Structure formats: structure tokens, C-alpha cells
A = this chain, B = another copy of it.
Amino acid sequence: MSYECTHELPWDKMEEECGVLGIYGPGKDVARLAYFGLFALQHRGQESAGIAVGNDQEIVFHKGMGLVTEAFDERKLKELQGNVAVGHVRYSTTGSSLLANAQPLIFRYSKGMMAVAHNGNLTNASEMRHNLAVTGAIFQTTTDTEVVVNLLARYGQSSLEEALIKTMIDIKGSYSLLVMTEKRLLAVRDPHGVRPLCLGRLGDAYVVASESCALDTLGADFVRDIEPGEIISIDENGLVSLKALTKPRRAACIFEYIYFARPDSVIDGISVNQARRAMGRQLARECKIDADIVIGVPDSGTAAAMGYAQESGIPFDQGLMKNRYVGRTFIQPTQEIRAQSVRLKLNAVSKAVEGKRVIMIDDSIVRGTTSGKIVQMLRHAGAKEVHMLVSSPPITHPCYYGIDTSVRKELVAATKTITEIREMIGAESLHYLSQEGLLRAMTEQNPDIAEDNYCMACFCGSYPIEIPIGLDKYAMEGCGC
């Protein structure tokens, strides 16, 4: 069950995490629908993919390493016949790319079989795991999701809804969770609503997905977002919603809007693409620069760059092009290529930038390892000036809720001043969007969501969900998902 390690093309981004998808659709080819749904959620995890199907009698499943299209073929999919399905794409926050850690996790317990798919990260997983282990629980994986699995089995003598509520009382952190039995689908979003989860209909069938773009791909109609703390249960008797626990402060991850989610998704009523444009417009209000063109770092910086261009009146152009076929490679680059590895992904359009004063907009800077190379590439292509603008505030604190921001000391904005970062990347100037500006851009999109309803911990260190003192970041296989 080992897997060849790959040389991910270098990129300086926070890395999501996971995507989940559930379908309750007797009479439909649910595994096939799950496949194409996961295909739309591929950006949320490229390490492994899995689909489990319940056929009333049992749960059958297949999991594989790599992209959805790599993990499945026609034969494998045909073996997954049933009425209800859950799927998962995973990005591991640590180095251990084990097939054993791929989800959904499938297990047998006193009442039958169950499959669990998780997006998020539990902050008290180590503690809960210890408690389970000393009373005899065994573990096959190093994921926090197996803690959920064991709790569900422990509470399994009750009804499944009751077991879920008890489990929700025990666990802390972020979780958009799908639980499937042989004949039933349950969906849960944590009480803070950190990660997105939405509901759709495809004819008679129900679809639950991390993002609405998966519903669009399947041709399903968007119904609504699952609410923070809500449990949805779907079976032959239809859909039932349950809100058992009192609702704490909502704390939706703002980085879903800045970078993670697909631009064509709508999360909690806000279009991701429109939010990004608004961040760009706000950036233009905060930071006026005398320049000839605005360009975005593709793909995620493009929308903000267009917003900036719109507000500032400086023309937008495609100054950087991305290789459409970029992906994993199993090949070690030569020394020459490694030095300028960013060229494997991006190339400057010299005729667009030469002789120009360029404003280059990216959505975020994490470690700061690639921005300098892009600036250099633009200069090599003839840019006279390069001003770097970032459509989010400086990232100064790690995320404990399911995103791989690595440890604090690796975050460039946690250890360096903006001036130092500017020098490091060699730009004429460097500006970040302010925290207030970011929230203003969000409020502009949906005034009904209060400013303190977003988790901004990575910018300000104010963590909405308790984190253990001295928590060794990801002591367990983080992200759970």
C-alpha cells in the first residue's frame, strides 16, 4: 500500500484540505455521479480519491492515489452499484501519503457498516484518541477522522442521530462530515460552519457537496447551504433536518473566498468570483499606484486583478500565462530548471509587459518562495517596474482548522516586516489588503453576514475554536480529511 512520491511542482499556496460529496439516489448510478461530482471538487484535494456505495445490504468501495481520473476506471466504477454514495478527495497536510489514510473510511460495527468522509480538522483529536485507545480501541490510520469513527461505534447502541449528537459534543474543531450506512446518508456541518457544505436536488435524488460547483457539474439544482451545527438525514422516508446543539458564533473560513473555493461556487450566499473582484476593488481604493498595466498571477489572482483594474482605470492584461497541462511530475528537475522552477507553471508574455510599469496581483503570500521568481521573470521579459499587491492581509498565524499553512516560523509575514518581504521578492513596492478592507469587501457581497462571523485567525491569531495550549501543529495526521 505504499505509493511513489512525486515532485509536486513548487507553488506557494495554502493547501486545502478535502472535498466531500454525497448522493442519495435509488435507481441512479450513484457511484458514477459521485465520480463526476468529485471531478468538480478536484481542486480541494489531489492526493487520493475514494467512493463508497451502499446497496441496502452492505457498503462496497474503492480508493486510489492521485486524481479522481487516476484512481478510478470504468471497471472499478461498475463494481460500485447501489442507491447511496459518499465520495472524498484528499489533500494531506503532512508527508504521509498513505492509501490507508484515504477516505471515505469504511468500517463494520455492531449494527452493520458505515462510511465516513470528512473535510476539516479536529483540534482535540489527540486527546480523544488517547481516551479511546486506553479503553481498547484500535486504529488503522493516523487521521483524526478515525476518532469520529470510533466514537460513532461507541455510541452505536443509540440511534445514529443520537450517536452523531453525542459525537459532536465530544469533538472540537472544524468538520463538514458525511456519514453513510448501507441505506442512508447523513450530513453534518460543525457548529461554527468553518468549512462549506451545501444541498442540492437532481430529480428525485439528493446531493450534498462541499461546493456548489459540484451541483452545477451534475446538473443538480442548488437548494441551500447546510447550516452550522445542522444534521441532515436522508433515506427512503425523505430528508429530515436536526439542530440539536445550541449555536455558537459562526466562523466561516474566509480563505475559502480568497483562494480555496472554485470561483464559480457560491458559499453561504456569496459568489466566490465576485468576492475576489471586490477584494481587488478594495485594494485599489487602499493602494493607488501609477502604473501602465495590471496583471494577475493565474489562476487565483486574476479576479482580484480585474477588480483592481476596474476600480483604478489602469488596463488589465494577461502578462503571465499558465501551462494548461501542469500537474504532478515524477521527474526531478535539473539544477537549472529548479532554480527557475516557476517557469514550468508560468511564463511571462513579453510583448505585454516589456517597457511597462506593471502591477502584479496575487491572492496571498505564504512562505514567499515563488513571488520573487515571478517578479524576476517579469523583469527578464522587459517590465520596467513591478509592484506587487496582495488581495488579502499578511498571514501571520497557522490554521488549526483544516488548512496547511505549515508552522508559524515558515510564514514569511510572521517573521519579516513588509519592507523585508518586499526586498526579498525584489519588487518596487508591496502592499497587502487590510483586514478591515477584506471584511468590507465581504460585507459588500452579503450584508447579512456580520463581520465577526468569519474566521480571520490566520491574519490576527484570534482563534474562534479553542486550540490546545502548546499544540504541536498537526501532531496527528492533520486536516482530518
Contacts and interface: CB of A to CB of B under 8 A. Distances in A.
Nearest to A107: B138
Contacts of A340: 219
A39 B323 contact: yes
Contact of A46 (B219, B310, B325): B325
Contact of A108 (B2, B73, B139, B306): B139
Contacts of A110: 130, 133-134, 136
Contacts of A321: 213, 262-264, 273
Interface in A314-337: 315-318, 321, 323-325, 327-334, 336-337
Given A39-B329, A69-B327, A217-B337, 6 more contacts: A77-B331, A109-B136, A133-B153, A138-B153, A213-B347, A271-B351
A2 B2 CA distance: 16
Given A140-B107, A331-B73, A344-B36, A316 B323 contact: no
Interface string A47-82: 000000000000001110001110011111101000
Nearest to A140: B140
Nearest to A271: B351
Interface string A9-43: 00000000000000000001100110110011011
A187 interface: no
Interface string A108-149: 111000000000000000000010011011111010000001
A9 to B, nearest CB: 10
29 contacts: A2-B62, A4-B73, A32-B333, A32-B334, A33-B337, A39-B344, A40-B344, A40-B347, A42-B324, A42-B325, A43-B323, A67-B325, A69-B328, A69-B330, A72-B331, A77-B331, A108-B138, A108-B140, A109-B137, A110-B136, A136-B150, A216-B347, A216-B348, A217-B344, A218-B336, A262-B321, A274-B349, A274-B352, A277-B317
Given A133-B108, A157-B134, A299 B323 contact: no
Closest 5 CB pairs of A and B: A271-B351, A110-B133, A136-B154, A42-B325, A264-B321
Majority DSSP secondary structure for residues of A touching B: mixed
A327 B262 CA distance: 17
B202 A336 contact: yes
Interface residues of A, number: 95
A1 interface: yes
A40 B69 CA distance: 22
A310 B302 contact: no
A473 interface: no
A136 B156 contact: yes
Contacts of A153: 133, 136-138
Contacts of A77: 331
Given A271-B352, A325-B67, A337 B219 contact: yes
Contacts of A334: 28-29, 32-33, 36
A384 interface: no
Nearest to A43: B324
B138 A318 contact: no
B343 A318 contact: no
A350 interface: yes
A99 interface: yes
Nearest to A214: B347
A94 to B, nearest CB: 14
A299 B321 CA distance: 10
A351 B266 contact: yes
Nearest to A30: B334
Nearest to A302: B318
A154 B375 CA distance: 53
Given A137-B137, A218-B336, A352-B273, A315 B323 contact: no
A325 B73 CA distance: 17
Nearest to A100: B106
A347 B35 contact: no
Nearest to A28: B334
Nearest to A139: B108
A351 B212 CA distance: 13
Given A1-B62, A219-B336, A331 B137 contact: no
A427 interface: no
Interface in A343-377: 343-344, 347-352
Contacts of A63: 1
Interface in A402-416: none
A358 to B, nearest CB: 15
A350 B73 CA distance: 32
